[in-house]
Chain A
Amino acid sequence: MAQAGRGRPRPKIDQPGKLLKRLLIYVFRHYGIQMGIVFLCIGLSIFANTQGTLFTRTLIDRYIDPLKNAQQPDFVPLAHAIFRVAAIYLIGIVAQFAQARIMVYVTQGTMKRMRGELFEHMQRLPVRYFDTHAHGDIMSIYTNDIDTMRQMVSQSIPQLVNSVVTIVTIISMMLVLSVRLTLVSLGMVVVMVAVSALVSRYSASGFVAQQKNLGALNGYIEETMTGQKVVKVFCHEKQAIGEFDRLNEELYRSAFKASAFGNMIGPISMQLGNISYVVCALVGGLLAINQSAGFTVGALASFLTFNRNFNMPINQVTMQFNMIFMALAGAQRIFALLDEKAEEDEGYVMLVHAKEENGELTESETRTGRWAWKHYHKDSDTTTYVPLEGDVTFHGVDFGYTDEKIVLHDIVLHAKPGQKIALVGSTGAGKTTITNLINRFYTIQDGKIRYDNINVNKIRQQDLRRSLGMVLQDTHLFTGTVMENIRYGKLDATDEEVIAAARLANADGFIRRLPQGYDTMLKGDGANLSQGQRQLLAIARAAIADPPVLILDEATSSIDTRTEKIVQEGMDHLMKGRTTFVIAHRLSTVRNSDQILVMEQGRIIERGTHEELIALGKKYYQLYTGGTAKSA
C-alpha cells in the first residue's frame, strides 16, 4: 500500500551517507547504461505530464476564449494543438513503458546477484560465524532484507527521482506563472510537511510499542502452543488465558495508536492541500482581476492545477525517505555479511592420487585407490609424497572460541592409523570441540595438530576435510532424493556404489521399504524419517566418501533399543580399518576402543584402555558403574 513506509520509526544506521553511496554503487555499477536510460525516461514522462497540464491554460486562453468570441469558429488550429499534445503524451507513455521494463531487469538482476554473492560468501565463512549468529537472523537477510532492497531499487529510487524532478519542474513552472503565488504555495507546503512530521512522530512511537508488544505476544503464543499439552495436563488453561488477555490488550492499544495516527497523515495533507488551493485562488483571483503583471485568468487556472499536482510528490518524498532508511538498515546487514572475513586457508599440502613407481610414491593422474599428501618444500624446492594413513597427533593444544576464554587445555593425544579413540565425559567437557579442531573448523590458539606428521595448518582445508568423515549427532539432510543425499559424500558415485554404501551402513533395509525406495524425496531436513533412519543415512553418506579418518558422535537417546542396535552395527562396519574418534555414550563402543580419553572441563584427566581405567578406579570407574569412585 502507498502508506507502507509512513510513520514507521527509522532504524539506527551508522554513516547513512556512506552506506547509501556503497549501495548505489553496488546496484548501479552493472547497470549504468540502463539506469541512464531509466532516468531519461523519467524525465520524458514528467515532461509529457507537465506539458499536458500546461495545455489546459493554452486550451482556454488561446483556443476556447478566441473561439467563443469568433463569429465563425475554426476548430482546425485546436485539432492541430490536440494532436501535438497527443504526440507528447505518446512519448511520455513510451518512456514510462520502457522505464518499467528496464527496471524489471535491473531489479531482478540485482537481486539475483545479491543473493548469489551472499550465498557464495556465506559458504566460505568459518563455522564460527554460524555459532555466533542466530540462524533466524541469517535467514532474515535472505528474505526480509533482500525484499526491502527490492522495493528500494524497483520503487523508491525511481519514485524519489520522479518526485524530485516533478517538484522542481512544477516549482519552476509556477515561478514562471507567478512568483508571488509560488511563495504562498510553498508556505503552505512548509505547514503541510511540519504537520505530517508531527503526526508521524506519534505514529512512530506507537509503532515501536506495537512491534515490542507484538514480539511479546508472539513469544507467549509460541511458548504456550509448544507447551499446550502440558497446559492441558496441568489444567492451566485459565492462567494461560489470563496472561494472554493482558498481552493481547496491550498489543491492541499500541496497534490502534500506530495505525490511527498513520492513517491520519493522508487526509491531513490532502485537506491542507485543498486549503492551499483556496488561499492561492483568493490571492490569485485578486491578482488576476487587477490584471497585475499580466497575470491572466488562464494562468491562474494552470497555476491552480499545478498547485493540486504539487501535493502528491511532496508526500511521496517523505514516504520514500522512510522506505530508503528501512532499506539501508537491510543493506547494512547484507554488507555486514559480505564483509565478514572468509575462512582463512594458507594450506598448500594437497591430497593426490598416488601410485608406487620403483618403490617410490609418486602422483598419479587417475584414481588408484591410494592417496598421498603432496608436500612442496619451498626452502629446498623439492616435493615429497607422504602416504595418507590417518595418523593424528595433538601436541599441547590450547583452544578457546575467544582468546579470553580457553576451553581446551594442553591436549596431547596420538591416534595411530586404524585405532579407535573414545572420548567420554560430561556435557561441556570439550569432546566435540576436539573433533572440530581436527578438521580445522576452528583454529587453535597454541600447540600443534599433525596429520600423517604434517601440521594441519599446512594442509589445504578442502583436502584435509576430504580425508575426514563425519557423522554428527544431529543429522542434517538436504532436500532431494535418498540417493542424492547419500551421494553427497562422493558426487561421482554410481547408483551401485550408493547402494553398497547403504548396505554397509545397514540403511539399505529401511530405504527399500520407503514408498519410492532410493528415489524417495526428502523434505525439510528429512522430516519424514525417524531419528534413527536419518542417522543411518548420515552413516551411509560417510561410508561412500570412504575416508581414512572418521569422527563419530553417537546418538544418546530418543531411539529405541532395536533401532539403536541397527545403527550401532552400521557404525561398527564403518569404523573397521579407519582411525576413528568417537564421542561415545555407549558401553560397548567405549569398551572396544584402543584408547579412552576421559575429559573434564577441557582437560584429559584419564587415559588408557577400559581395563586400565577400571583398575584406576577414578572418574571412569565412577561413570562406568554409575556409583562413586573407589578411592574418592
Chain B
Amino acid sequence: MGLPIPNSKLGMWLFLGTEIMFFTAFIGTYIVLYFGSVDATGRSAWPTDTSITHINILAGAINTFVLIFSSYMVVVAHEAMGQRDFKKAYKSLVITFACSCLFLGIKGIEYYGKWSHDILPGRIAETDEEALHKIVRELDGGMNAWVNDLIPGDAPIHIKQGVTSQVETAATELATVNTQLESADRGAREALETRQAQLEALVDNADDVRAWQELNREFNSLRDKVSQNSITLDQAKDVLHHLEGDARFAPAVSAVHHPQPILYGNIFASTYFLMTGFHAIHVIVGMILFALVLKEGDRLNEKWHDWVENSGLYWHFVDLVWIFLFPMIYIIPGI
C-alpha cells in the first residue's frame, strides 16, 4: 500500500511541495509589486537600471553557472552511489560543497556592493527631498563620529562639540591644568585628568579640530537651507562635491552616500534581500546536508544512498529557485 517510493523520498517531496509554495509566494509577490509600482502614466516604475540599483548581472550569471554545475555534480554523486563507486561520489560531493561556498562568496560580494551603496530596505531616498534630508542626516552622523574620535572621554556629543571651540586657548589652559594636577587632592584629580585629556587632544589634533569647526559651519548652512527648503538636490550635490574635494573633511564626508533618489527603491531592496536571502539560507542548509556526508570520508558507503538522493533533490530545488530568480531580478528590464 502507499506510494511506491521510500518514506524518506516521500518526505523530501512533501517538504519540497511546501518549499515550492514558500518561494512562489515571494516570486508572486515580487511580480505583482513590480507591475503595481507605477509612475504617473500608470506604467511600472520598478527600479531596473543596474547603474542605480547596483545589480551585478555578471555575478548573477556566474552564480547561475555555479549552481547548475553543482546540481550536475550532485546527480553524478547519486549515480556513483548507486554504482557503489563511493570514491567518485565523495569527490563529486566535495565539488558540490565547494560550489556552494563559491556561490555564497559571490553573493557576499554582491551584498557588500548593496551595503556600501546603502541599497538597503528603509534607507533609500525615493524623492529629492528625502535625498536632501539623507545628506544632512549622514553628514551629521559622520561629523559626530569624527568629533567623538577627536575628543577622548565619555562625554555626550554636544559637550564634545562645545569643547572644540576651545582649541585656540587649549595650550594655555593645559599648562594651568598640569600645574593644578601637581597639587590636586584625590577628589579633584579625576576631573582634572579628564580635562587634561581633552586639552591634550585639542592641542595634538588642532588642525583636525579646526577643520571640524569649518565643516560644522558648512554643515549648519546646508542643514538650514534644507530645512527652509531653499536648496535643490543638484545644489546640495555641488556643496557635497566641494566638501569631498577637501581632504581634511574626509573623516566626516566619507559617511555620506551618493545622493541618488530611487523611486520604489525601498520595496525593491526589501524584495531583493528577502528572495536572495532566503535562497542563501537554503544554500547553507544544503551545505550542512552535504557536510554530514562528507565527514564520513573513506567510510562513505551504501547506507548513505538515500541521504545523497534526498539531499540531491533538495539541492536541485535550490538550483530551480535560482533559475527563476536570476532572470527576474537580474535580467528582466522594465516593460
Asked if A and B bind, the verdict is no
A residues within 8 Å of B by Cβ?
Answer: none
B residues within 8 Å of A by Cβ?
Answer: none
